[in-house]
A and B are shown apart, each in its own frame.
Chain A
Amino acid sequence: MARFGMLVDLTRCIGCYGCTVACQARWDLLPQVQFTKVHRYEVGTFPRVKGGVVTTQCMHCDDPPCARVCPTGATRKRADGIVVVDEQECIGCRYCQSACPYDARSFNPERNIVQKCYFCYDFVEQGEKPACVDTCMAGARIFGDLEDKGSELSRAITAKKAVQIKGTSIFYVPPRNLDTSVLPADFQEPGAVRIWQDIVHPAGKTVMGLAAGAVVAGLVVNTVNKSNNHK
């Protein structure tokens, strides 16, 4: 089974936003909804100032917190590693947005759903590249199968000594002049997710269970009482 990932070579990226817009056009996104973002950094003082560009997007985490908190199961991780949102099933509750450690999800107010980078899974299924990769003038993006050691992606990761953002499917060649601190942090489950997952969710279940139990018990007691009264 393939496991898809992406490499962004920031030594090639020129910060043109071609990826951002190709993605928007391809998914017919609202202008304010951007799956791929471009950030520019400046460090140092004049005249010794260095700059660079870092792009961010959904990291397609190994164990995505967005999927774990999703109450309807609209967000899920596919067997090929792509984290998708079933836009029909999404109820727009935005829990996933608060759970995402990378702020990679966007709310679409017109459709009341949350959207994100889908790695253009439909293109990928047809053997094509995601729109951002396809359009990149600088050839800074490489998409492919991490399981296949012979894939363009796997070979590039080795050849370029790319840095994996741990716990995710995204690799970077860091920008020249800048250290890796400008890259997205390694995956760390946000505290809120742990609270939700380990305390709120079980507690909720317990509370709901107790409530349901109470209702059932109440009904039983009532029924028993009623039948007693009849006697």
Chain B
Amino acid sequence: MLEQRISRRTFLKGSLVAGALATFGGKLVPLEQAEAAEATSPAASQVVPTICEMCGVKCGILAHVREGRVWRLTGNPRDPQSSGRLCARGNAGTKTLYDPDRLKGPMKRVGDGKFQPIGWEQAFKEIGAKLQELKGRYGPQTLVWLAHPELISPLEKHFMAAFGSPNYTGHGPTCYSSRNVAFEQMYGGVPGVDYRNVRYYIAFGRNLTGGIKNPDIQKIVAARAEGAHLVAVDPRLSDFAFFADEWLPIRPGTDLALVLALINVIINENLYDAAFVAERTVGFAELKAGVATYTPEWAAKITGIDAATITRLARELAAAKPAAAVDPGWHAVTGSQYYNSVQAARAVAALNALLGNLGARGGLAFPPGIKLGDPSSIMGPKPPAAAGPRWDGAGSEKWPLNKAHGMIQVFPERVKEDKPYPLKAVVIQHLNPVRSSTDSGAFIEALKQLELVVAIDIQMNDTAYYAHYVLPEATYLERYDPLMTAGNKVVLRQPAVEPLFDTRGAEEIIAGLAKAAGLSAYFNFTLEQYNDALLAPLGLTQAQLARVGVAEVEAQQPDYTKLKTPSGKIELACQAFVKAGSTLTPAWEPPLVEPGEDEFRFIQGHVPMHTHTTTDNNAYLHAIMPENELWVHPSRAGKLGIKTGDLVEVASRVGKVKVKARVTEGIHPEAVFLAHGFGCGVPLRKLAYNKGANDSALIPVITAPVSGAAAQCETLVTVRKAG
């Protein structure tokens, strides 16, 4: 037969290019190595283009497979994010795939720390029956779904919608909620920095080269090499602080005062972009009045940064405009660290607007938009309207601005009380709130009170350890996922090897749960059909994209003259905040706590070689950094009789941990620092178990106003030499 003689490969190649060009004039770049791979036997070498999941950035990678084993991972040169390069975590992915401590099949809890294997169908049947029972008794909203939203999140949300519960919550409040709330209201979205072209850059607590985003690193390093001036404002000598040209060791929690003073100088010395402010912003007069008293001298007393430095920074920043940017930030000052983080994020948003940098080369930018297809026609009937308000109150009258982000940190408290309705079941997917949210002890107690805890993950983490059912997901190198867009490209995650163990893709797990919970009608589609529906307007299919991994498509550049705000402009004065109980323009609010003479402010953050709590058992990354250490300034350590390497006990009002001390000049004397992601309490993860300290055990539940973020650095601790 003729069809058989035309190999599948040749056919796809032809139809791929023709289809792509005919439909949208975009271009698909064939990946020669992948083409070659298919022609040879499975035993030989193959290169499979896919997407990394060692952190949340999702860089395009090439999985090099030899004799059925992924022996090496490299960056996909055609991916706009990795551009062919990878960080330590990305390179270490094989050690996650081949981690001997991985979950190898579904398990059911039979006692404290004791699990027994259970078949998938049995697990689905039991969980489905329990879900239906709890839904009947308490209503569908009794189910909460917690996740670090990954590519699969649309299907998780679809499950919850079908079930009838509004309670899907991500990790935002422990990460970026304040920044998002501020920029969503003032800019209509959260812009990024054009790191490649920036000439003057200030980061407030954002540890750009520590909490690594591969694409950002590549750009900022190149910009610096071309003379960009980088300023790190941080109470400790973070990875970015030593890379930057200047480190300003600010008193922790006072960044807002410094930003307000920068605004004050730029306005009073007429250094702002007047044309931009007039055309693209509203509320300048109110802002000017609002910051009138925030002089450099005022800020110097609060921050410990002298007034002359503040004035100089403001002048230098303004002189470099519009290729000057103050990072909107991520998890730090403007994200989820302080009680005043949302004010700090608002002030940063206003300061950038004065520089007129939105959409300018080297300023702030929104990503281009790719119009994907609508898969709803294959996803069953229209789900019912959610029954009742959200479990955490996000989006309610008290918290009108953070509906999309939720407030995961209030979970223990809400489980304890039955108002406005009881929470009895939780599904936790790719998240470890026992160590990533706040007050680990309280979270564990909450999990113990629930009638049904289901954990979906690739490894037994500290949260799954308390689950009634643990459902093992295939790792990113063994599964497909819903496709993603990055810049003007669409990228596909696809398996490099067959699952090593009895694990499944999350879409199969979710569909299995849905069918057992009586929601069959909503999950009569495959992931391939879902991806095909998304790709349809681009004239592509998943099978075609699988061959090349990355396809360049037409993308729409953002229109900066019509922002998604009520005025269509940047709202320097913003009524939405007034309605949420805050001020019209960014205003000073002191941090919530002040350390006493014997106390420290506890600060936490990320390191370049680990991601959250997900990589501590990765053999390569563990060997580089097996544990965290408590950074403490020599002046304070001396009084406490502590030397580097001593075991110390760190105590807050909610918990105590023991950890080694690192006495360093690189930290503000008022603060101690602990890197996040250590102190695993699960013996099944042999490398990570009991290494270092879990910072979340120390952090009390404090919810910041307006944004609902967990103010994680409003934690006071005492330190003493242990043993």
Q: Which of A's residues lie within 8 Å of B, judged by CB?
A: 11-12, 14-18, 20-22, 24-26, 28, 31-32, 34, 40, 42, 44-47, 49-53, 131, 134-140, 176-177
User: How many whole Å from A31's CB to the nearest CB in chain B?
Assistant: 4
- Chain A residue nearest to B241 in the complex (CB): A51
Are A137 and B221 in contact, with the CB atoms below 8 A?
yes
| Contacts A11-B225, A46-B665 given; does A17 touch B242 at CB 8 Å | no
Asked whether any CB of chain A lies closer than 8 Å to the CB of B179, the reply is no
Instruction: Name the one of B75, B221, B664 contacting A135, with C-beta atoms under 8 angstroms.
Output: B75
B666 and A42 contact, CB distance less than 8 A? yes
**Contact indicator B209/A16 (Cβ below 8 Å):** yes
**Interface CB pairs A-B, < 8 A, 15:** A14-B608, A15-B608, A16-B87, A16-B209, A17-B608, A17-B609, A18-B88, A40-B242, A42-B665, A46-B666, A50-B247, A135-B74, A135-B75, A137-B221, A139-B218
A18: which B residues are within 8 A, CB to CB? 85-88, 90-91
Residue of B nearest to A42 (CB): B666
Chain B residues, Cβ within 8 Å of A40: 242
Give the complex CA separation of A110 and B623 in angstroms. Answer: 16
Provide the B78-121 mask, 1 if CB < 8 A to any CB of A, else 0: 00000011111111101100000000000000000000000000
Contact (Cβ within 8 A) B237 A137: no
Query: Which of chain A's residues have a CB closer than 8 A to the CB of B666?
Result: 42, 46, 49, 51
A-binding residues in B (CB < 8 A): 71-75, 84-92, 94-95, 209, 212, 214, 217-218, 221-222, 224-225, 237, 239, 241-243, 245, 247, 249, 608-609, 619-624, 633, 664-669
A14, B243: Cβ atoms closer than 8 Å: yes
Q: Give the Cβ gap from B240 to chain A, nearest Cβ, in Å.
A: 8
Please state if A15 and B239 are interface contacts (CB–CB under 8 Å). Answer: yes
Q: Given A26-B72, A31-B620, A50-B242, list of 18 further CB < 8 A pairs?
A: A14-B221, A14-B239, A15-B239, A16-B212, A17-B87, A18-B90, A18-B91, A21-B89, A21-B609, A25-B94, A34-B623, A42-B242, A46-B633, A49-B249, A134-B85, A137-B212, A138-B217, A177-B242
A17–B243 Cα distance when bound, in Å, is: 15
Do A47 and B249 have beta carbons less than 8 Å apart? yes
Contact of A137 with B214 in the complex, beta carbons under 8 Å: yes
Tell me the smallest distance from the CB of B480 to a CB of chain A, in Å: 24
Chain A residues positioned under 8 Å from B94 (CB to CB): 25
Which residues of A are found within 8 Å of B623, using beta-carbon distances?
31-32, 34
Rounded to whole angstroms, the CA-CA distance of A177 and B245 in the bound complex is 9
Q: Is the CB of A24 within 8 A of B620?
A: yes
Complexed CA–CA distance, A47 and B225 (Å): 25
A156–B633 alpha-carbon span in the complex (Å)? 40
Task: Decide if A16 touches B217 in the complex (CB within 8 Å).
Answer: yes
Assess whether B242 is in contact with A25, with CB atoms less than 8 Å apart.
Answer: no
- Residues A12 and B225 in contact in the complex (CB < 8 Å), given A46-B633, A49-B666, A137-B86: yes
A45 to B623, CA, bound (A): 30
Contact among B88, B247, B249, B668 for A17, CB-based, below 8 A: B88
Contact A135 B665 (CB under 8 A): no
Query: Nearest 7 A-B pairs (CB), nearest first?
Result: A51-B242, A31-B623, A17-B88, A21-B91, A14-B209, A31-B619, A138-B221
Tell which of A17, A24, A45, A137 has the most Cβ of chain B within 10 Å: A137
* Cβ A22 vs Cβ B86 within 8 A: yes
Q: CB within 8 A of B88: which of A16, A31, A45, A140? A: A16
Q: How far is the CB of B245 from chain A (nearest CB, A)?
A: 8
Q: Given the complex of chains A and B, what is the CA–CA distance between A28 and B608 in angstroms?
A: 22
Instruction: With both chains docked as a complex, state the minimum distance between the C-beta of B236 and any C-beta of chain A, in angstroms.
Output: 10
Q: Which residue of A lies closest to B609 (CB)?
A: A17
Given A52-B242, A135-B75, the answer on whether A21 and B217 have CB atoms closer than 8 Å is no
Given contacts A14-B217, A32-B623, A52-B242, contact A44 B665 (CB under 8 A): yes
Inside 8 A of B633's CB, which chain A residues have their CB?
46
Nearest opposing residue in chain B for A53, CB measure: B242
Beta-carbon nearest neighbor of A33 in chain B:
B623
Once the chains are docked, how many angstroms separate the CA of A183 from the CA of B352? 40
Distance of A11 from chain B, by nearest CB (Å): 7
* B669 and A46 form a contact (CB under 8 A): yes
Chain B contacts for A139, CB-based, 8 A? 218, 221-222
Q: Is the CB of B212 within 8 A of A28?
A: no
Tell me the nearest residue of chain A to B225, going by C-beta.
A12
Known: A14-B239, A137-B86, A139-B222. A49 touches B92 (CB 8 A): no
Flag if A134 contacts B74 (CB, 8 Å). yes
User: In the complex, which residue of chain A has the Cβ closest to the Cβ of B214?
Assistant: A137
Which residues of chain B are near A25, meaning CB under 8 Å?
71-73, 91-92, 94-95, 620
* A29–chain B nearest beta-carbon distance, Å: 9
A22 CB, min distance to chain B CBs, angstroms: 4
Q: Which residue of A lies closest to B240 (CB)?
A: A14
B73 near A136: Cβ-Cβ < 8 Å: no
Indicate whether A16 sits within 8 Å of B609 (C-beta atoms), given known contacts A49-B237, A138-B221.
yes
Min CB gap A42→B, angstroms: 5
Chain B residues with CB below 8 A from A140, complex form: 221
A16 touches B75 (CB 8 A): no
Which residues of chain A are near B221, meaning CB under 8 Å? 12, 14, 137-140
Most chain A CB within a 10 A radius of its CB, from B71, B90, B221:
B221
Most chain B beta-carbon contacts within 10 A, residue among A14, A34, A138, A177: A14
Q: Determine the chain A residues whose CB is within 8 A of the CB of B84 once the complex forms.
A: 134
A residues near B664, Cβ cutoff 8 Å = 42
**How far is the CB of B713 from the nearest CB of chain A, in Å?**
19
Of chain A, the residue at the smallest CB distance from B217 is A137
Q: How far is A45 from B668 in the complex, measured between Cα atoms in Å?
A: 11
**Chain A, Cβ-Cβ closest to B687:** A31
In the complex, the answer to whether A45 meets B87 with C-beta atoms within 8 Å is no
Contact A136 B85 (CB under 8 A): yes
Contacts of B665 in A (CB 8 A): 42, 44-46, 49
Q: Is there an interface contact between B624 and A137, defined as CB atoms closer than 8 Å?
A: no
Cα-based distance from A20 to B599 in the complex (angstroms): 38
A52 contacts across to B, CB distance below 8 A: 242
Q: Which residue of A lies closest to B84 (CB)?
A: A134
Whole-angstrom distance between the Cβ of A10 and the nearest chain B Cβ: 11
CA distance A53 to B241 in the complex (A): 12
B503 to chain A, nearest CB (A): 22
Q: Are B91 and A138 in contact (CB under 8 A)?
A: no
CB < 8 Å neighbour of B71 from A28, A42, A176: A28
Chain A residue, CB-CB nearest to B619: A31
Q: Is there an interface contact between A21 and B92, defined as CB atoms closer than 8 Å? A: yes
Set A24, A32, A46, A50: member contacting B668, Cβ < 8 A: A46
Contact A137/B85 with A22-B91, A31-B623 known, Cβ cut-off 8 Å: yes
* Closest Cβ neighbor of A46 among chain B residues: B665
Q: Are B620 and A135 in contact (CB under 8 A)?
A: no
- CB contacts (< 8 Å) of A136 on chain B: these are 85
Q: List, in ascending order, chain B residues with CB within 8 A of A138's CB.
A: 217-218, 221
* B77 nearest in chain A by CB position: A134
Q: Which interface residue of A21, A31, A40 has the most chain B CB atoms within 10 A?
A: A21
Chain B residues lying within 8 Å of A50, measured Cβ to Cβ, are 242, 247
Instruction: Compute how far the CA of A20 lies from the CA of B225 in the bound complex, rounded to whole angstroms.
Output: 23
Q: How far is the CA of A22 from the CA of B74 in the complex (A)?
A: 8
> A32–B669 Cα gap in the complex (Å)?
34
- Cα distance, A44 to B218, chains bound together (Å): 29
Q: Is the CB of A49 within 8 A of B247?
A: yes
CB distance from A96 to the nearest CB of B (A): 22
- Nearest-neighbour CB distance to chain B for A52, whole angstroms, equals 6
- A175 CB to closest chain B CB (Å) equals 9
Candidate in B87, B88, B222, B249 with the most chain A CB atoms within 10 angstroms? B88
Docked complex Cα distance between A31 and B217 (Å): 25
Closest to B238 in A: A51
**Chain B residue with the shortest CB-CB distance to A37:** B624
CB-CB nearest in chain A for B213: A137
- Is B608's CB under 8 angstroms from A137's CB? no
Q: Which residues of B contact A177 (CB under 8 A)?
A: 242
